Amino acid sequence: MPSVDVVYQKIHFRHDPRWSAITGPTAEDVVLCVACVIEMMESEDVSCVRKSVALSGVGHVLRRCPGAIKALLLQDARVCLHFVSSLLGMLHSLEDSATLEQVIQVLVHLLLELQSEQFVQDVLNDIHTKLSKQASVRGFLPAFTFLGKLVDALPALPHTLARQHVSLLEWLSLGLQYPDQELKASVCYILRRVWEVPAAVQSLPTPLRDGMARSVLHTLDQASTPQLTINCLGLLKQMLQLGEVVSVLMNCRAELPADDSSPEPLSSQHCSLPLVLKKLLLSGDEMLQVASAHCMAAVLVHSPTRYCTQFIQADLPEFLFERLSSSSEALLWSTYGCLLLLAEEPLFFSQCHTVYGIESLVCSLKDVLKLTNLEVQKQGLLLLTVILDRQPAAVRLFPSGAGFVGVAEVVLVAVSSPCLRVATHAARAATALLRLHHQSSPVQYKELKKIVGAVITRCTELPVPITTRQTNTGGRPGPEPPNQASKAGSFLLQALVCFQQACRLAEQCASEPSLKENAFTAPHKQGKDSLEALCLSLLRCCDTVLIPTVTRLCEQAPSTQVLQHFFSILCYQFTLLPSLMPLFALKLASSGFIRLVLEHQAVLCSGNRNSGLNAACCDFLLKLSRCLLSQSASSQQEEVEECLGLLEASLPSLCKRVSEWPSLLTDASGIPRATQHCLISLLHIAQLHGDRLLPEPAIFSCMVSVLCSMPEQGDPSPPSCVLRSALYLLAVYQDKRTELDWATVRSIRKALSCRPFPALYTHHPALLHFLFRYRELSDAFGPLLMTLWLSHEPQRGRLEGQSDPASGVVNPSSSTSSTPSSSSSSSSSSSSLQAVLEKHPAVALTLLRLVVSSDEVLGERAMGELRRFMEVKGHGDGALAALLRPVLLQLLQRLACHGNASNQGPGPAAPSSLPLVLQLLCLTQTASSADREMDGTEFKLLYHVSNLAGKLKANTSETLLPALNYLYCCLALSPPHCGDRAVSMVLCNTGLMEQIETVLDLSPSSSSSLSSSSSSSSPPSTLRSCARLLLSSLITLQHKHSAQVHRCVRVDVGRMVQLLCCGKRRVDSLSLASVVRLLQALLDVGLDSPLLRLEEDSTFGARQRPLQPVDGALHPLGSRAAHALVAALHGLLLQKQEALLSVSVNCLRSLMGFLHKRCPATARHVASQPWSRFLLYSLLNSGESLLLHPAILSLLTLLLQAGSGVVQWDPELEQVLCVVERRGVDKLSPSTAQALQELLIQVQQAGSLTPLSEQQTHRATAVLASLGHLVTSEPQPSSVLRQGELSYCSSDFTLNTGH
């Protein structure tokens, strides 16, 4: 709306300019003349419309330009007062409601802007003066409306009215007797604002205050308009906050005086507050019903015992219960509050109002719990709890099962509420419901299980941390917890109370035969709806939820109240289900319960405090210890009773913190020895089940002190159970940071020697680690300990599915059979022994001695552990190999003496140990390298193994294979300066040479007979492969060192070539690779070695006489065999197997060298065959990984060296360079880089290539230059690899470059 100048042009010219001003921003300037406004408001000639427009302009200026009108009016206070008076006069002279509303707004806004107490006083005096003159409130509705808005705008005005204008308040109170309902509503509004200020109420005269209260009650009783009713109820609620007014209203029986000015004088009508509120409660308006409930609650909070009776006698509880069917949250909350207050009076229960309303309450709660208003839910649950808690036992609320089920459903839904406060109220209701006199007939055990399960399950969802407070767990709760942790603590405490009540109820039902079995339950449902099912559910909840939760809480902040309930619950479990207590005791101990009891016994019971709790702790620890010790399969009954006697004698006086135990254990003279024994037993029992009471260093030092003091004191030997516990703790908690000195270790050994070691043995890995850590202990107890460890058989506990706790193995489930349990225990024992071997390699010597000195079963177990350790951890460990070789040599010498190996193989004393010993020897070679120094032990081993291999029969492959394998590894890895001695020692053994020849003579057709005598892990093909590799090493080393040969080995080259050509589909890759490696060794020496006697075979026409010139030059290979070998090697390359690529190229290089020396024409012919181009095409188009394989690059180099024309720049070399340039030289492996360098060098020197262009030459030169820093001239060190049972040297299967 555009701004309008507030100027009356007809009269404006005669006004002083100082009463005018231009206000507002530039775009909305408004000209205002105060004098014009005053004259317009007072003139009767000015229309109401013009006045309304002027008032609108004034209001606009007041809102948009604060201070503008104030500046004009304060030029003369008289003008300001006159302006206000003229506006007040309009409240009585105008009849237009819109204009009156504008007048009221301008007046209120003007008085706020003036901020003058005097002007406000003048306004109040003016209103009072007009009332006094008129002697009636007729026509004062606009003034009262203005006064109500002024009271809203000025917070200090109510106190001013009560203190300085009591007569005006008396006139306002008289206005309540005026028949105009709208005027009464305005008066009630003003008085309500006055009563909202406590200081103002205190300033009111008592007669005026009480008179106002009676008038308001009567006005409310006679109110017929909603506005008056609402304002009157609001005023009444404020009045009911004052106890004196409540007393007046509740005793209001007198007649109200009639008002002569009222057209309808009051005549002898009585007003009763309960009846008035009851009438409002019966109305159909929910807002009035809520207000009625609020007023009722406001009365009852002052004194329930004083006022409840009147409301109950007026039958208000009945109507309140009926209101619970409403969906209004405000009404429900108010109704719940009123019923809660009425429940303070016993008359509420004696008149059976709870029996009448319990069903309504349950139905209401079902609907309320679907809402989102948490306060309503809490209020309703609190009402249910109070009713259940205070209901007399003689009056049953749930005679039938349906009613109990309904209440149980409400509790279940409330417990699952996401709000912890609501859930806590629900747990309180559940506690009250779990009373015997609330149970229906028959008892609903199924519902009881649901309730307890829901309450306990909710404990698992509690946030961490949890803070508990000492609160009253009765029906009415204390103040709300301040934070989430306190809320969680309140719920947990209430859940414990609920659970304890459920246990108490189960005990009461068990003592009543009529309640123990439900006579009305079908037989097939007895298992689910029975007392036994309830007890099992209680135990399950206590086991899985309650114990961990309370333990976690008590570790943060111990609570006496929580512990009392908790220990009571646990005691109930032993009473309800004694048959399941052994398993329950195991769970308690594994949950850290021993430490929990001991710590809180020390904190709460020291100094003779809480003797009852102390006795309960001792009794419970004894029961727990008895269950735990009785279930250990390794414990004898005498040891259990002996240990329990120690505990029973010392526990009552053991009110010491666990942190104080070290001083008790180390003080040898200050405390009785029985107390020390008690502490050791408790530490042992706790540790067996994962409850670590003291830090590891503390326990270790304490056990050391105790064991060292035993021999010094000269006392009788401690009981075996104590000594066993001390050794166990010493082993488990051994200090990993410091070593014990010699004197301490000696004292420990002396203390342990007091009793037979088997009586002190515990099957636990820590015992191995501890005893083998110290040389003196391992020498004294090591062999016996290892014998007990290897002879240990997994035992099943006395309970199904329970294992020996001392074994350190997790108990399997009850459904697991004994076989998987035994397998798991054996696997764990083996893993533990492997860990000890890894940390203390000297233990391997003890195992090896057991092989020599023990029976066959223990010897095989010991050898199996050593073999497993060497396979997993022995690779690269030269120190371990050096440690084992001397003992292995002794063992091998001893085993070799058990029988005549020449005729019958190894003797009968250890038929299965010899292969294991030889396999261990092979495994020791995995730790060897070519640059090591062979010592005398290794030469002795080489000598004995070669002798043994020469005496074995060829069909004993399980023994012959590791023997030949060991000889091969020794020769392949022998350093250059030791190779001549090693190969000479092997070659001098003619029996070995015959053995190799025999193995090689086993044709594939005869392998079936051999397979029957071979073990599944060492097939004949593996044995032949090993023999070929050994022979290839012998050929190479004999040729290199010109060693003396005492017996030749017969070799059929033709059969090997035929095997590569025709039998490769029936032979594994390793066998093929070994054949190719042997052929390579033969070709490297030119098929001429004193070690070999090559047989001529007619397969390729080598026996034809006279020989052709080419066959003569290539004798004994022959031309056809050479071409067949080339084709066979090409075929192996086309298989593209990693194990065959490098060895095939190596053999092909040796063959080309052999051909070049014997018959260069044949070499060129072989290299230039079209088949070679097809081979290159297939290999170069099989992906980038194969294209850049070192073997393929070496093949290209080899063909170029042979002068073959099949290799050209395009496409072969072009493909290689493109891939290298795209991938980058830096990403090439060292072997690939070296092979590529040799290829490019050969490209620059080859004469078979078409002359390269300048660009091609530049590319090749650039790549070659970039390879300079990647290629090293140092050869890669050789190592031993393992495939199945065969160990082989990596250098035999690696590409040979640099030729």
* pLDDT tens track for 1045-1091: 999 999 888 888 888 888 767 788 888 899 999 999 998 998 888 98
Element (H, E) at 1094: strand 1092-1094
Measured CA to CA, the distance from residue 1100 to residue 65 in angstroms comes to 123
CA distances from 323 to 30, 311, 388, 403 (A): 59, 16, 20, 20
Backbone phi and psi for residue 1093, each to the nearest 5 degrees, phi listed first: -125, 100
CB 352 within 8 A of CB 397: no
- Which residues, including other chains, have CB under 8 Å from residue 1022's CB and lie 6 or more apart? 957, 961, 1070, 1071, 1284, 1285, 1286
CB 364 within 8 A of CB 380: yes
Cis upstream peptide for 1106 (omega within 30°): yes
Quote the pLDDT of residue 526: 53
Residue-wise over 983-1008: b if at least 16 C-beta within 10 A, else e? bbbbbbbebbbebbbbbbebeeeebe
pLDDT in tens, 779-829: 888 888 888 888 876 544 443 334 343 333 333 333 333 444 455 566 777
CB 90 within 8 A of CB 41: yes
CB 20 within 8 A of CB 32: yes
Nearest residue to 995 via CA among 1033, 1037, 970, 1023: 1023
Quote the pLDDT of residue 794: 57
Measured CA to CA, the distance from residue 290 to residue 392 in angstroms comes to 30
Quote the pLDDT of residue 273: 86
Pairing of strands 20-23, 30-33: antiparallel
Torsion angle of C-alpha atoms 636, 642, 648, 653, degrees rounded to 10: -130
Quote the pLDDT of residue 816: 35
352: alpha, beta or left? (left if phi > 0; alpha if psi -120 to 50): left
Alpha helices in 1160-1291 (DSSP H): 1160-1167, 1170-1180, 1184-1187, 1190-1201, 1214-1223, 1230-1245, 1254-1266
Quote the pLDDT of residue 907: 38
The residue with tokens 């406060």 is: 421
CA distances from 1248 to 675, 1093, 1202, 1267 (A): 98, 39, 9, 24
Number of DSSP helices (H) and strands (E) in the chain, helices first:
67, 6
Quote the pLDDT of residue 262: 40
1048: alpha, beta or left? (left if phi > 0; alpha if psi -120 to 50): beta
Spans in the chain with pLDDT lower than 50: 1, 26-27, 254-269, 471, 473-475, 795-821, 899-911, 930, 1003-1019
Quote the pLDDT of residue 30: 67
Quote the pLDDT of residue 1028: 92
Measured CA to CA, the distance from residue 122 to residue 145 in angstroms comes to 17
Quote the pLDDT of residue 797: 41
Measured CA to CA, the distance from residue 107 to residue 86 in angstroms comes to 10
Quote the pLDDT of residue 1272: 62
- Which residues, including other chains, have CB under 8 Å from residue 1017's CB and lie 6 or more apart? 958, 1284, 1285
- Greatest CA separation for the chain: 164
Instruction: Give 102-134 as a DSSP string.
Output: HHHHHHHHHHHHHT-HHHHHHHHHHHHHHHHHH
* Model pTM above 0.75: no
Pairing of strands 1049-1051, 1092-1094: parallel
Q: Tell me if residue 1051 falls in helix, strand or coil.
A: strand
- Which residues, including other chains, have CB under 8 Å from residue 414's CB and lie 6 or more apart? 365, 369, 377, 381, 422, 423, 425, 426, 429
Amino acid identity for residue 611 in this structure:
S
